[in-house]
Every structure is written in C-alpha cells, then in structure tokens.
Amino acid sequence: MNHAHPRVRTVGRSVARPAVLAFAALAFAVLVPTVAHAQSTASPVDVATFAAAAEGRILFVRHALATGDDDPTRFDLTDCATQRNLDPRGRVQANALGAALRTAGVTPDRVLASEYCRARDTARLLGLGPVTTFSGLNRTFGATRSFGLDRLAETIDHVGADETVVMVTHSDTIRAWTGVDVPSGGMLAFDPATRTAQAVLPRDPAAAAIREVVPWLYVHAGGRVALEDPRTLVATFDRDVFGFTEAPYRRHETLDAEAYVGRWDGGPESFGADPPNAVLTWFGDDVHERWVVLTDAERTTTDDGRPAIRYALADPLDGAPSGRFSLFVDYYGMAGAGGMSGMYGMQPMGGMSAMQGTSGTAGANGNAGGGGSSGGDGASGGGFYGMGGMGSMSGMYGGGGMSGMYGGGGMSGMYGMEPMTGMSSPGYGMDPMGGDGGTSDMYDMYEMYR
C-alpha cells in the first residue's frame, strides 16, 4: 500500500524556497490528520458476520474504556503508572469483547497492540492469543506521527490474503488510517484489498456484558467471623451477599453463595486473577475494621454446620475478628453480577441510561445527518459514550448529538459521518441514499444489542 504523504520537490535555489518549504511543512502538519486510507465505509456487521469473512482482513480494536481523557504530562511509555490505563469498566469491557469474538469464531493469526499499557491490557484481556507489541500502532501525534503510520502501512501491506490480524490501538491511529472515529472498545474491520472500513458490532449475546460494565460492589455480612490462621478468614454465610453499583447507578441486588464464590474463578478478570481490595468490619464491644486483599474464596461450613465462606488473604491479618461482621468488597463488573439485566440496555425510543453522557440534549441534537429529527426525547441521557450536544464530532459511532455507540436519543449519523466534513454517509440506521434524514432506527439498535 502506498502510504503517500505530501512531498516537496526542491528545484535549484530560489529566494522563495524557504517559504515554499515552510508552507509545505505547515500544510503537511495541518492536512495530514485528514489523510485516511479507507476509500469507503460499509454498513456495520456483527462479529459473526465478520468472523465468516475474516481472512485477509484487519480488525482494528480501540482500547477499552480508560481513565481520564489523555495521557499525563509525565507520560512514560515504559511505565504504566504514568499512563492513562483501563478503568474497571474497561477491563470488563475488554474481557466481554474478547468473549464475543471468541464465541463468534474469530481466530486471528496475529494480535498486535500498541506499546501503550491500555492497548496491551485490552489485547491481553481479549484472550485471542499471544500479544505482540508494535510501535506502529502507537498514538499518532507529534513528530513521530509519520514514522508510525509508515510502519503501520508496511505491516498492513504484508497482511496475507488468508490471514486475520487484530490490531489494538488508539482512536487517533484508527482515524488516521481509516478516517473513522471509534469509541473505546469499538471495532473496525479494514480490508486492505478494497480499502473498505466496516464497523463490527458485538451482537453475540456473550457481548451483552459490554454494555453492562459498571462495577458492582459487594457486602458480605453475617453473624460470625473468625480466623483459621492469619491468612484464612472464615465468615458465616447467613444470607445472600448484597451487591450494589457505583453511582450514578442506583441498583442493588443479592447474590447467592455459589455465584459469589464463582467470582474468584474463571477468566482474566475474575477476582482470582485480580484479587479485590476489601474492608472487614466486625462488631464486638467496639467496632473494628481492617483493610484486606481477598485472594480466594470457597464455600465451607463451620464446625457447627453453618454455611460459610473461607477467604484467603494476601497478607496476615492484624487482629482477631470475631462475632458479627460485614465485609465490603471492591468492584466486580461482569454481566449478571448482581442482576444487571436491562440496566444499561438501549431503550427502544428513549436512549439508554446515562453513564457518562450528559443528559437531555443528545436526543434533541440528532441532526448531524442533515436535519433529521430522530432520537426520541433523549431524556435518558447521552449514553455510555455520550456527549450530548457535540454536534461537531464526527465519526463512525458518533454523529450529531454524539450519543455514542450504545445509546441516546438522536442517533442520527450513528455510523455515517465522514470525519472532517460533517457529512453523513450511508450507515446503520441511516437513510442509505443520502444520510440526510436523521432517521436513526433506535429500535434496530436495540435489537442489535439485545
């Protein structure tokens, strides 16, 4: 593939030469961000459809949800602690995304990730195979931009016709290559032969968790707690564990012992793989508390036959817990962890519950496609990725009103906008001929994600 950058010919000496060079450089700096290699954008497909025709294609995956908006000023590529990293929802999102891809039968020959920790972590959590870091997928800004894109071009050029490559990277890199904006955890298939970019949606039920990524916290309370040894805590299981979400969600449900203990099993995001922090409090004559890390949990019974949970602690506990207790456990975010059904789902007409989106305005602003009136009332908020009112934002999942991938009223232009132009193109839920109607079919989106 020819990764053509503007080039400046130098012909002899001229008084105008420095100015020409300078203006060319300026033009380069300004115009390069618009360079894209996708010649067209096809309608989105679900992962199963992509899997059926994955050979010879590249699946760009934007890293999952991460903290903050940008890397810190003290950013160091070799030190994750200085970077913007996956947040709890992002880790669950990446895990669920991988489950969707695996369930659909996506078996990539290679999984490449940028050198940024959030991309590497996303790639690892996808669980699609060994991850190779590749600097050509790093963010594309500043002086290294051209170099990075050249390296990416070279790699894409060598993707075989029978090969499927997953590339976990960043929004600006995907945008620079395809001209398409992708939200965190979003996927875009790219066909080097046809230069066609195509959104890939996690339709498989296994991916339902992708929209259910709010952390749930747990409280295990009961009548008796004791140490078997300094690293082993036995706490009676007198009734189901109490789970509740983080704000802004206000949900709570209970979890039985089997499901609760199961959180320590299975999968890279399990409590077993990433032990939760917790605070144990117990009530005697006084109330005591200790901060602990719970590395394992199993069902057991006490000497007098009461059901209980045996916890393994990362470190010896300082104290002698006894009597009534409550144990406050750090988040767990997988779908079904506490009955999250419907919580983040699309509402057929009203948009989804707001998570980060600003409320109210997204629906009203769904006219990026040229003045449409889609979107219902938008009263439920801008959606998971929502940024109500960002009419100038463009891209695959965006569009006027920028309600985002999963939600919000005003979904006009959801998959259709061409970057930099603000013009809609045919896309999912859009009038395929003109992209001018703002006629997003919210119900279809709801069906897609159900």
Partner 1 sequence: MPDRAPDPRTDPRPLLRRLTLLAVVACVGAAFAQATPTTDAAPPRWLAAQIGPSATLDDPRTLTTTSEDEILAFTDRPDRLHDHLTLATFASLWADGFPADTGPPNAVLTWTAPDGGVAEAFVIVADATVVDADVPTIRYTLAEPLDAPVTGPYSLFFTVVAEGCDTRLVCREATR
Query: Which is closer to partner 1, CB of 1 or CB of 312?
Result: 312
Nearest residue to 40 (alpha-carbon basis) of 161, 182, 189: 189
Query: Which is closer to partner 1, CB of 328 or CB of 415?
Result: 328
Query: Which is closer to partner 1, CB of 29 or CB of 52?
Result: 29
**Least distance (Å) from partner 1 to the CB of residue 79?**
11
**Least distance (Å) from partner 1 to the CB of residue 372?**
26
CA distance 124 to 119: 9
**Least distance (Å) from partner 1 to the CB of residue 1?**
24
Query: Which is closer to partner 1, CB of 4 or CB of 30?
Result: 30
**Least distance (Å) from partner 1 to the CB of residue 191?**
29
Query: Which is closer to partner 1, CB of 259 or CB of 448?
Result: 259
Query: Which is closer to partner 1, CB of 401 or CB of 427?
Result: 401
Query: Which is closer to partner 1, CB of 11 or CB of 247?
Result: 247
Query: Which is closer to partner 1, CB of 109 or CB of 240?
Result: 240
**Least distance (Å) from partner 1 to the CB of residue 289?**
5
Question: What is the token pair recorded at 27?
Answer: 């033009």
**Least distance (Å) from partner 1 to the CB of residue 78?**
15
**Least distance (Å) from partner 1 to the CB of residue 257?**
16
**Least distance (Å) from partner 1 to the CB of residue 71?**
4
Write the CB contacts of 365 (distance below 8 Å, at least 6 apart in sequence).
375, 378, 388, 389, 391, 400, 401, 410
